[in-house]
Chains A and B, each alone.
Chain A
Amino acid sequence: MAAAESLRARLLHDVTACGDGFNPAPQAPSLPAVSTLPPRPRPAALSPSRGGGALHRFANPGRFLRLTDRLLPWLWGAALLVLAVGAAWALAFSPPDWQQGETVRIMYVHVPMAWLAMGGYAGLAVASLLSLVWRHPLADLAARELSPAGAMVTALCLVTGSLWGRPMWGTWWAWDARMTSVLVLFFLWVGHAALVRAFDDEERGARAGAILALIGAVNLPVIKWSVDWFNTLHQSASVVRLGGPAMHVEMLYPLLICAVGFTLAFAALVLARTRAAVMEKRVRQLQLAQARRHEADA
């Protein structure tokens, strides 16, 4: 038992603490640098002299692990606190709508999910750009871990919208421009998640996923302005519109608080997933190094 504990602690230490690259084994300097990656330029963090310092400050996986280790508990705490306040306000203290009645409370989940689905996709596009152009070593992992979470919030947006549409509009679904473009966004998320995992060579998968993500980004303005460009069943924007929000503040404030809370929780979830992915990669490198050492000994 104690041995297992100490082994676990040792492994955790090896995985999280040492080394700044994905290869966490500087304690075995006799070995040639082992890497499952095909020869790619070393993470630029190791050669900060090559410019782009600000961009690459967070490219260093070791620094990312140390930073998020301190940040994540605060992020989860803030998310829970804000969500608790937002949920209480939205579900109990905010007024019903004058014609929708209590059904309007679906909005406090539906709208933040819609914003997150689009904001998250914008984040995916930025990560893909960083990965394609600057070969940012963390961007691939962040993109890979972002897409399942993004698919989840987009699915929640579609489901809550459907549950809301049935009593209000009289239908679960309509093929209007807003709903169809959000469904396309959902398929883009799922497609990205599947594509980056479909290659044996992780880097090729990341490259293909990044290209897909950037192409899919044209869908974002289409979603945003679909309700203005086309005749849709979905109403036009209530909050981000010329002439101020068409929503009374007693509903607007809890909506904004819920949006902040869900965003914090989403960020914490994606950061935690990315941390796990970095550590997983390091564990694999450690195991590989160990296997090679055994091979060399034999």
Chain B
Amino acid sequence: MKLSRKRRRLWVVVLAGLGLGTATALALTAFQDNLVFFLAPSDIAAKHPAPDRAFRLGGLVVAGSLQRDQTPDGKPEARFRVTDGPATIPVRYVGVLPDLFREGQGVVALGKLGTDGQFRASEVLARHDETYMPPEVAEALKRTGHWDPAKGAPPPAASWNTLEPAAASATPARPGT
């Protein structure tokens, strides 16, 4: 069968696209481990990075673990623990924490893991999650006991992303209404 020129050009483009797509997919799969911006605590537990190697640690700040202090020369110092569930790593950081930093929030810290198992951070970035809500809605969720921001992610979006702020509190756990 003789293909028309248009048809032939279309096939060339389709085949080139398939080849390129496959190559990209393979490359991304191969590099997936090297393209990480940060290591989770359980990655670190499995890999044991060398003590002199700087890397980024990422995870959630454990509720109730934050202790603010001052170094002898008057700089702010923070100690907290970072977890991803299976593993937890204590972190020490001297410097000013970003505004978004709080317990239950994601963080990415750059630093080195000491031989004592403590991570000495030279830079701490706060990670934002994908939720956006007005203060009243967050208040309603906290008041009704549906969400404790220090303990982790908010409840499923469908339960609070509607117009009615009352929707967040309409479900049980609120006696008298």
Which B residues, 130 to 149, have Cβ-Cβ distances below 8 Å to chain A?
A: 130-139, 149
Q: Distance in Å from the Cβ of A249 to the closest Cβ of chain B? A: 5
Q: Distance in Å from the Cβ of A102 to the closest Cβ of chain B? A: 11
Interface 1/0 per residue, A45-71 and B, CB below 8 Å: 000000000000000000000000000
Q: Which residues from B are CB-within-8-Å of A244?
A: 157-158, 161
Beyond known contacts A133-B9, A177-B35, A248-B160: 12 more, CB 8 A cutoff = A95-B135, A99-B100, A132-B13, A133-B10, A170-B99, A174-B37, A231-B38, A235-B127, A235-B128, A238-B132, A248-B161, A249-B163
Interface 1/0 per residue, B90-132 and A, CB below 8 Å: 0000000111101000001000000000000001111111111
CA distance A115 to B173 in the complex (A): 40
Residues of A participating in the B interface, judged by any CB pair closer than 8 Å? 95-100, 104, 107, 129, 132-134, 167-171, 174-177, 214-215, 218, 222, 229-233, 235-238, 241, 243-252
Interface residues of chain A: helix, strand, loop or mixed (majority): loop
The reply to whether the CB of B89 lies closer than 8 angstroms to some CB of chain A is: no
A169 contacts B128, C-beta separation under 8 Å: yes
Contact of A241 among B102, B130, B136 (CB under 8 A): B130
**Do A248 and B108 form a contact, CB below 8 Å, given A129-B13, A168-B100, A236-B130?**
no
B100 contacts A233, C-beta separation under 8 Å: no
Q: Which residues from A are CB-within-8-Å of B65?
A: none
B37 contacts A222, C-beta separation under 8 Å: no
A251 contacts B6, C-beta separation under 8 Å: no
CA distance A113 to B98 in the complex (A): 26
Which of A132, A167, A230: most chain B Cβ within 10 A? A230
A167 contacts B99, C-beta separation under 8 Å: yes
Residues of B participating in the A interface, judged by any CB pair closer than 8 Å? 6, 9-10, 13, 16-17, 20-21, 24, 28, 32, 35-40, 58, 97-100, 102, 108, 123-139, 149, 156-158, 160-163
A-B contact pairs, 22 of them (CB 8 A): A99-B100, A104-B132, A132-B9, A133-B13, A167-B99, A168-B126, A169-B126, A170-B123, A177-B37, A231-B40, A233-B108, A235-B127, A236-B130, A237-B130, A243-B156, A244-B161, A245-B157, A246-B129, A247-B131, A247-B157, A247-B161, A251-B134
B125 contacts A246, C-beta separation under 8 Å: no
A95 contacts B6, C-beta separation under 8 Å: no
B124 contacts A170, C-beta separation under 8 Å: yes
Task: Considering the complex, give the chain B residue whose CB is closest to the CB of A175.
Answer: B37
Contact of B21 among A218, A233, A246 (CB under 8 A): A218
Task: Considering the complex, give the chain A residue whose CB is closest to the CB of B135.
Answer: A98
Q: Which residues from B are CB-within-8-Å of A232?
A: 37
Q: Which residues from B are CB-within-8-Å of A96?
A: 134-135
Q: Which residues from A are CB-within-8-Å of B58?
A: 231
Q: Distance in Å from the Cβ of B143 to the closest Cβ of chain A? A: 13
B134 contacts A95, C-beta separation under 8 Å: yes
Contact of B137 among A132, A229, A230, A248 (CB under 8 A): A248
**Do A230 and B134 form a contact, CB below 8 Å, given A170-B98, A170-B126, A249-B161?**
no
CA distance A245 to B28 in the complex (A): 28
Q: Which residues from B are CB-within-8-Å of A107?
A: 132
Contact of B133 among A171, A233, A241, A248 (CB under 8 A): A248
CA distance A174 to B58 in the complex (A): 14
Which of A98, A214, A229, A247: most chain B Cβ within 10 A? A98
Contact of A252 among B6, B124, B161 (CB under 8 A): B161
Task: Considering the complex, give the chain B residue whose CB is closest to the CB of A97.
Answer: B132
CA distance A167 to B100 in the complex (A): 8
Q: Distance in Å from the Cβ of A257 to the closest Cβ of chain B? A: 15
Q: Distance in Å from the Cβ of A114 to the closest Cβ of chain B? A: 14
CA distance A247 to B37 in the complex (A): 26
Which of A170, A222, A235: most chain B Cβ within 10 A? A170
A215 contacts B135, C-beta separation under 8 Å: no
Q: Which residues from B are CB-within-8-Å of A174?
A: 37, 108, 125
